[in-house]
Amino acid sequence: MELTRFLAFLAVVLPVAYGAPTQATTSLHPKLLEAMKRDLGLNTEQATARVARDIWASDVIEQLRTSAGDSFAGAWIAEDGTTLNVAVTDQALAAEVAAAGATPAIVANSFSKLEEAKLALDNMDIEQPKTLATDSANSGIAAYYVDVAANKLVIEALADSTAHAEALAAQVGLVASEFEVRTVEEMPTTFATVIGGDAYIIDRAFRCSVGFSVTTGFVSAGHCGSVGSAATTSSGASLGTFSGSVFPGSADMSYVRTVSGTTLSGTIDGYGTGNLPVSGSTVSATGASICRSGSTSGVHCGTVRSLGATVTYAEGRVTGLTQTNVCAESGDSGGSFYTGSQAQGVTSGGSGDCTRGGITYFQPVNEILSTYGLTLVRG
């Protein structure tokens, strides 16, 4: 009975994806097509072509990153969904970039230079308002990341903290042409909630969403629970305990080791139209299409905005997150992000909601797997 309940739990809360790469270019899951049409305006043919192009781009970027060395300055997929731009600081590399099928962009700043400035910020004690209410409501450094398309370090801040953001950029040695301060309306928050329902429950109090199955349990967000916290189904059946958790700091990740006898499958919920497999975890590029599934808002899609972002939550800063323009809501925390059948990460937090739109960050899944020595279950 416990096993039956757990399998039913998996069928409800694991996120949507679709088949193996060999199928990806010819067939996408109906729910994924529906979400990509709603959120990205793509019909069936356009959506399948977009996913295939995104996967191709990831391979090309890695090849050029290696060959360009210190001259590599980042890469991104343009808004048209087909043009892969690869930035380099050496004009002599333009022909190599073009030969690989990408569009070269000659820029002033290498990716390593901007990333070093970001890491310097990570190591600084950035003063934040003690409360996000009343007189401090318009103050705070929300996030910062390397914007490869702009070839700048971007610092997102509330209106009253723009001068603070500029001072921080100067402290890490950046001049005006190397950074940009963007004003945002609200600070990011995590998407945990205190209500029951489907998905999994932490310490019989908080609800989060499962990310992906691994051979000994499943992964989720670190803010969902601490080491030793109990994970149960919504009906109270034991799933296991948190064996690893990091939040805030270097990650927002957790690993739940499930109880003996649990059957974990690489197939994930197809929302009434069949379960579908996850086939890998190839990282998507900036600009790639990406979808998210969570137990509150279901499936929503958008694009990757930046990699390696540092985000400021009320609990503290978290480094190494990926920024997207996909919406999310309370209870979606921990749920999966994916491009096609490739697992990308687990939902961390953000701002906005799925009525007015928003920004959501996710913790890359490959870091979770490597940190805890886990193996993704594939269908």
Q: What amino acid positions are annotated as catalytic residues?
A: 223, 252, 333
Q: Residue 359: beta bridge partners?
A: 351
Among residues 264, 288, 286, the alpha carbon closest in space to that of 211 is found at 264
Among residues 105, 94, 102, the alpha carbon closest in space to that of 148 is found at 105
Structure-token pair, residue 137: 């409501």
- CA distances to 17, 32, 261 from 271, rounded to whole Å, are 10, 10, 25
Structure-token pair, residue 223: 């803010």
By residue count, the chain amounts to: 379
Contacts of 352 (CB under 8 A, 6+ apart): 186, 327, 358, 359
Say how far apart CA 374 and CA 362 lie, in whole Å: 18
Question: Do residues 178 and 153 lie in contact, with contact meaning Cβ atoms separated by under 8 Å?
Answer: yes
Residue 183 region, left (φ>0) first, then alpha (ψ -120 to 50), else beta? beta
DSSP symbols for 88-145 = ES-GGGHHHHHHTT-EEEE-SS-HHHHHHHHHHHHTS-----S-SSGGGTT--EEEEE
Question: Do residues 325 and 213 lie in contact, with contact meaning Cβ atoms separated by under 8 Å?
Answer: no
Say how far apart CA 241 and CA 125 lie, in whole Å: 33
β-pair type (179-183, 316-324): unpaired
Query: What are the start-end ranges of the H helices in the chain?
Result: 2-13, 21-24, 30-40, 44-68, 94-99, 111-122, 162-171, 365-372
